[in-house]
Chains A and B, each alone.
Chain A
Amino acid sequence: MQLARVIGDIVATRKDEALDGIKLLLLQPLTPDRQAAGRPLVAVDAVGAGVGEEVFFVRGKEASFPFHPVEPPVDASIVGIIDHWDVER
């Protein structure tokens, strides 16, 4: 999984029907020092996250698991909202 900040939301009316009712959010992956780590991406939301929150997300096949038995065609899914993290180098 990776750390990210939710930087926007996405509206898509016409989409795969397995995505009905699923929220699409724009994420900026973060390093533990809150620097941008790579480019923003779109992820579906499995936990009720909102813009401005820090979250963690899973990539790949596992991204569709929270929506079982529906299998939406997605490759990134927010699976937790972060209260805080601590880094000790």
Chain B
Amino acid sequence: MQIARVVGTVVSTKKHRKFEGAKLMLVQPLNVDDTPRGAALLAVDGAGAGVHEKVLVVLEGRAAGEVLGAKGAPVDAAIIGIVDEVDLAP
């Protein structure tokens, strides 16, 4: 899993049927110091996340499919939690 920041929302009317009702969010993966790492990506939201929140993202198909409640969904990323706090060992 990765820590990421929700940076936006995506609206798509015409999409694969297994995405019906899913909320699509743009997430920016973060380094541990909160700087952006790599490209922003799209994830389905399984945690009720909002823009600006720090979240936990799975980048794996089966796990992401479970968030959609659909077996065989063509999805590879999902938000599975909202991060309250990260404590780094000194």
Q: Which residues of A contact B (CB under 8 A)?
A: 1-3, 29, 31-32, 37-38, 46-48, 56, 58-63, 65-66, 68, 77, 79-89
Residues from chain A with a CB closer than 8 A to the CB of B77 are 1
Q: Which residues of B contact A (CB under 8 A)?
A: 7-16, 18-19, 24, 26, 39-43, 51-52, 61, 65, 72-77
Q: Decide if A56 touches B10 in the complex (CB within 8 Å).
A: yes
**Separation in Å of the B8 CB from the closest CB of chain A?**
4
A-B contact count (CB 8 A): 95
Residues from chain B with a CB closer than 8 A to the CB of A82 are 10-12
Q: Decide if B74 touches A65 in the complex (CB within 8 Å).
A: yes
10 cross-chain pairs, A with B, having the tightest CB-CB distances, nearest first: A80-B15, A1-B42, A87-B8, A62-B61, A80-B12, A65-B74, A85-B10, A79-B16, A81-B14, A83-B11
Q: Decide if A32 touches B8 in the complex (CB within 8 Å).
A: yes
